[in-house]
Amino acid sequence: MAEAEGGPDMVSLRELARRLVADGVVERITHQRVSQLAKEDPDFPPTVPVGRSRAVDYRAAVPYFRTRTSRQGQRTDLKGRPPKAAE
């Protein structure tokens, strides 16, 4: 992990996924999932464009992933639908 001194430790979303696993912050995560969270979760740390990619400060991302509740296998496509009426 980077030193706490100095400026931000900017990494691509792909590198973020790799480092989170390597540093034991999460058991496993893909860069696709990190990208999805960056787009959809308003609590995700700010990202900046770098060419055609996006970068995030690793030091800001670690607390986000340490406190995030994983919902593996949850059916998000059904979220918000009213329950079916009994016939």
Express each pLDDT in 12-30 by its tens digit: 999 999 999 999 999 999 9
pLDDT digits (tens, 9 = 90+) for 49-87: 999 999 999 999 999 999 987 766 666 666 666 667 766
Look up the pTM and report it. 0.74
Cβ contact 36:78 at 8 Å: no
Cβ contact 67:43 at 8 Å: no
Q: What is the pLDDT of residue 22?
A: 96
Interatomic CA distance for residues 81 and 23, integer angstroms: 38
Interatomic CA distance for residues 34 and 52, integer angstroms: 16
